[in-house]
Structure 1
Amino acid sequence: MTSQHNRPDADILIIGGGLSGTMLAVQLLRLPGQRRIVIVESRSELGRGEAYSATELGHTLNGNAARMSVDPDDADDLTRWLGEFIASGGWPESDQQHVPLAELFPPRGIFGLYVQQRLAEAQAKGAQHGSSVEHVRGEVVDVQSEASGIRLALADGTEVNGRFAVLATGMFAAARTPQTDSNALNAAAVDPWDVAAMRQLDSQGRVLIIGSGLTMVDAVVSLEQAGHRGPIDVFSRHGLLPHVRRQPPAWPDFLGADHSLRSPRQLVRALREQCEQAIAQGIDWQAPLDTVRVHIPRLWSQATDVQRRQFVRHVRPWWESHHHRSPPPSAALLERLVQEGRLNIHAASLQDVQDRESGQVRISVRYRGEDQPTEVRGAALINSTGIQYDWRRVDRALPRQLLARGLIQPGPLALGIASDPGGAVLDAEGRVSSRLFAMGPPLRGMWWESTAVTDVALQAKALAARLAERSER
């Protein structure tokens, strides 16, 4: 439901209606008690956001169905829903993956349908005890915290008032986010997920991609679906590709058994030993690695800033490539293109984006081991540098205003924003807000891993309980 006029006050305002905001609403609606929830989201649909608005079947989840339930109390929720969806005639292409139901990697668009259905069910349950959720379509550009509550200013000039507000803004994809320091890359680049735009490119032209993480994987999938058959050159500082996600057997929780492991160096050493043990037993090295994830929030939060910086500087590239793995269908495409000689990965850092000349885009890169930059030309350029977590660099109204008003402060290492352990944001003076909260990707600096479906689901349940308790006072 979208209201255009006479928007009512709310008990809880949710800024952002993607996965984070929708899952928070679901958890609030499931709780007993009567409360009014307003979600402010610029898209026409809730539950999709940046990640799950994709319509191409090739853009799949990075985790299989058994790992992607939005219900923190039911790990099989998505698997069951997907089985019913396929049985009813949805996603007939699922049999092309040739794996059991729980190991399927569903398209993101279909996952968005799943989230929306869970929201509809929660709305029906909430209505039984007088709770409601309303979708106000618009963009929040300013927030004011007052003694009586929170006031949101929208881009169209209207205001929405509530007792509490939650920043559920999701991820700021670098390819779609204006930067305060330089927008030259995005100005010259093609959107990584815009298959229609890619169909307008020379199908044999050379495409240059900056960044080699999961956004790059999506970009290559988009190019393939657009009919591009020319060379692709990928440039990243370390030249690391995401590993393919496999389904390893269970492995003992070695971190749960030994809490003496605290520093990044200790963790890396122990993890390497565990992986070597697994390989010696003929077991996939991903088995020990997959036990680490549940401990990341604890390890990150108890680390010192020096230890966090060491991790980000020295371990992060390898952590990202080993932990944030590629779905098998996408990984198979990349492997084929590499074997065909069409996809080339270069360890090089972007130095400059130059003006187009003769219809070609020109960039300057410095290859690893070289002192001087080299000019590279291509028919098209794609920004696949991932997510911008530093809110100080995001050139959008809401982050700018929140920082200018002193309502928030950057999180550790300038990753997202700072909060207390329960999601209440810290203002510029370090005071814990009693009105403004955050969840999901904005809390990257607090927990390091705060973007995956499981992270969001757990945070949504905990924050919903906290807000429900406060709203009843």
Structure 2
Amino acid sequence: MSPDSVDVLIIGGGLSGSLLAMQLLRLPGRRRIMIIESRAELGRGEAYSATELGHTLNGNAARMGVEPDNPDDLSQWLAGHLAAGGWPQAHAQQLPVAELFPPRGLFGTYVQQRLEQARRLGASHGSTVEHRRGEAVDLQAAEQGMTLTLDNTDTVQGRVVVLATGMYAAARTPQHHSEALGAAALDPWGIEAMRGLDAQSRVVIVGSGLTMVDALESLQQAGHRGPIQVISRHGLWPHVRRQPPQWPDFLAHDHSIRSPLQLLRSLRQQCRQAMAAGIDWQAPLDTVRAHIGRLWSQASDRQRRQFVRHVRPWWESHHHRSPPQGAALLERLLGEGRLGILAATLLGVESRPGEPLQVRIRRRGATQAEFIGADAWINSSGIQYDWRRVDRPLPRQLLARGLVRPGPLALGIDADPGGAVRGADGQPSACLFAMGPPLRGLWWESTAVPDVASQAKALAARLVEVLA
């Protein structure tokens, strides 16, 4: 093959792309793999590039391994890392290794080491992986596979191409760059920029999910001690993740539950039973994860819309829970009166030279807008799954060329159950695949580490068959 032609071209070198490469390298056979990633390091992406110890995983080590066949993989790696003197702060928590919530930067190191081990194994049977830095901006069908164009006009041809683009932050989409938002938002992880704020400055955070918890930690690390106002449409925030005991997998035995409404009713009943027995309500909830993909895929579009419209905010706050450290900081700030959480919609941010920001909101249930004064604001409004709203070259081009189409409810992009992307004609591609967050519409939960790891293993096996 020419230097610009590879067997597997992976667009995105964060968690999704790195785990796919890892699984491909482990399989017998000679393959040339290339990962397109603009960052200097693979395996981190935005989520695991954080360097502050306070930015931790929102799941404990026992839940976050990247080996589908060995759930204890991260715990085992972490035990060795601690024994070698790494992350000395962990010993102060006095917890079993499996119950620790590692810093996200350390998790990125773990992923990198697993990828390096796979690279050495792949080399033994002739497979290679190359990291090409740059942003993918266009993709076109070629005689054999597809041709990718990078932002420096270089091109690479792949026999098969995988969209492992990860998550697009809502803060980088067009509606957050409109004239209504005239003041630049601080990055939730931008601690250095936050250090430039007056310690007593007034800060408004838009969005109350896990990114908001990270933003609070960033402000704390930056030395901020002033008032913080959080705004979200429902005024909810993540529950703290605890370590509940095992609970019977009620969905494994009751196949009559097929719709989101049936699931909600049954889950409430299970949680009431648990609390009546003195057991944490999180125990029944944690059994649901293994069945989410099945329940979501068999629901009708009408049922899915009902879930997204009426249940989603509560599902997110109960299911996507905060690590204990972040939850403790949130509770402390609430107790001190420094933090307020308001159910309201952001309408705009007005900025005039030499004057405080004016954040225009409309409270939930109100008809009139009002203003909140602030010295800075942070956009923590989460993830943009609708690719039609993502202001990046590659999603725009893929949609314009008809190589992809929006997924169910415009969540990510459409694909068959094995990850083959469906184009505008509805037919699955023979050479374009996707995994991870772009498949949100197919599986609902397609972002957590266990979900991505399982998809990577299954997709690697399929790609090997396609290439053969």
Aligning the two structures, in what range does the TM-score lie when normalised by the shorter sequence? Answer: over 0.9
Q: Could you list the runs of 5+ residues in structure 2 that have no partner in the other structure?
A: none
Structure 2 counterpart of 1:376, one-letter code: I
Judge conservation of contact 1:424–1:433 (CA < 8 Å) in 2: yes
SS at match of 2:381: coil
1:72 aligned to which of 68, 72, 75: 68
1:3 aligns to what?
none
Judge conservation of contact 1:180–1:393 (CA < 8 Å) in 2: no
1:282 aligned to which of 278, 284, 301: 278
2:413 aligned to which of 414, 417, 420: 417
Q: Calculate percent identity across the aligned residue pairs.
A: 69
Matched, 1:324 2:320: yes
Judge conservation of contact 1:145–1:435 (CA < 8 Å) in 2: no
- Summarize the Cα distance change of 1:87–1:177 in structure 2 as closer, same or farther, 3 Å threshold: farther
- CA deviation map 1:30-53 (0-9, x unaligned): 001111100010001100001001
1:154 aligned to which of 150, 154, 157: 150
Structure 2 counterpart of 1:94, one-letter code: A
- Summarize the Cα distance change of 1:185–1:168 in structure 2 as closer, same or farther, 3 Å threshold: farther
Structure 1 residue 239: Cα displacement:
0.4
- CA deviation map 1:431-451 (0-9, x unaligned): 110010000000001100000
Matched, 1:122 2:121: no
Matched, 1:244 2:240: yes
- Summarize the Cα distance change of 1:355–1:86 in structure 2 as closer, same or farther, 3 Å threshold: same
CA distance in 2, matches of 1:183, 1:254: 50
1:300 aligns to what?
296
> How do 1:61-460 residues align onto structure 2 when only pairs under 5 Å count?
61-179=57-175, 182=178, 185=181, 188-356=184-352, 358-460=354-456
- CA deviation map 1:200-226 (0-9, x unaligned): 011101100111000100100100000
1:42 aligned to which of 38, 45, 64: 38
CA distance in 1, matches of 2:183, 2:6: 39
The alignment of Structure 1 onto Structure 2 pairs a total of residues equal to 467
CA distance in 1, matches of 2:435, 2:389: 20
CA distance in 2, matches of 1:361, 1:180: 16
1:30 aligns to what?
26
Judge conservation of contact 1:365–1:375 (CA < 8 Å) in 2: yes
CA RMSD for the aligned pairs?
1.3
- CA deviation map 1:334-365 (0-9, x unaligned): 00010000011111111122223534221111
* 348-357 or 331-340, larger mean C-alpha shift: 348-357
Structure 1 residue 8: Cα displacement:
3.2
CA distance in 2, matches of 1:160, 1:198: 40
SS at match of 1:408: coil
CA distance in 2, matches of 1:311, 1:183: 32
Judge conservation of contact 2:183–2:350 (CA < 8 Å) in 1: no
CA distance in 1, matches of 2:179, 2:213: 22
TM-score, normalised via structure 1 length: 0.97
- Summarize the Cα distance change of 1:129–1:179 in structure 2 as closer, same or farther, 3 Å threshold: farther
- Summarize the Cα distance change of 1:125–1:178 in structure 2 as closer, same or farther, 3 Å threshold: farther
Judge conservation of contact 1:235–1:346 (CA < 8 Å) in 2: yes
Structure 1 residue 186: Cα displacement:
8.5
1:8 aligns to what?
4
CA distance in 2, matches of 1:399, 1:255: 37
SS at match of 2:226: coil
